[in-house]
Chains A and B, each alone.
Chain A
Amino acid sequence: GQQVQQSPSSLVLQEGENAELQCNFSSTATQLQWFYQSPGGSLVSLLSNPSGTKHTGRLTSTTVTKERRSSLHISSSQTTDSGTYLCAIDPGANTGKLTFGHGTILRVHP
């Protein structure tokens, strides 16, 4: 079965609203990263958060390792936040190999 499941599969917001994206994984994760993929296709790592809570700009990620879940909160969304958000884990013992979820497609309307 799929090791990394993301929800929702898509989300539509009005500019200024907050977004909550979820990532659940079926194996122990030694690493967890959130990525943003632009509509043009380029991929950018947003943050690495294998456990606990981490903030960067308008993004907050909370990972509860023993419950095998992570969330990404986007506050005060902007139209430029539109794109696909991917969660990835390293299910091995720090092998450096990431397994990706299928992503959440976010659309922010002005």
Chain B
Amino acid sequence: EAAVTQSPRNKVAVTGGKVTLSCNQTNNHNNMYWYRQDTGHGLRLIHYSYGAGSTEKGDIPDGYKASRPSQENFSLILELATPSQTSVYFCASGDPGSNERLFFGHGTKLSVL
């Protein structure tokens, strides 16, 4: 089974601060994704990547940057965190476009005060 590991599991940040959420996958998937999950909105795609060096905007990219320095690692960066970015963030890897399953990390609970 593919392993997707997120860190940290919980994070408290101050408004205006910089936050980096990290994700590592060990199954050599080309595609990686960052989603956030909020009550009333479900899971929404923030950024995704088709491979090392590639980042693409998802449906709600404003206020977020992404970095894919290698096949295994995909980071989500909040340069100036705001309280509206308080959420649970999920990283995923896989290739659903080829009918393959998507594998998720355990999530990062971020609170911006």
- Residues in A lying within 8 Å of B, measured CB to CB: 30-31, 33, 35, 41-45, 47-48, 50, 86, 88, 90, 94-103
- Residues in B lying within 8 Å of A, measured CB to CB: 31, 33, 35, 40-45, 48, 50, 58-59, 88, 90, 92, 94-104, 106-107
Known: A86-B43, A97-B45, A97-B48. A50 touches B102 (CB 8 A): no
Pairwise interchain contact A98-B102, C-beta atoms closer than 8 A: yes
Q: Which of B35, B42, B103 has the most CB of A within 10 A?
A: B42
Residue ID in chain A nearest B41 by CB atoms: A102
Q: Which 3 A-B pairs have the closest CB atoms?
A: A96-B97, A94-B97, A45-B101
Pairwise interchain contact A90-B104, C-beta atoms closer than 8 A: no
Among B45, B88, B106, which residue has its beta carbon within 8 angstroms of that of A98?
A: B45
Pairs across A and B, CB under 8 Å, 24 listed: A30-B97, A31-B99, A33-B101, A41-B88, A41-B106, A42-B104, A42-B107, A43-B92, A45-B101, A45-B104, A50-B99, A86-B43, A88-B96, A88-B102, A90-B96, A90-B97, A96-B50, A96-B98, A98-B33, A98-B45, A98-B96, A99-B45, A102-B42, A103-B42
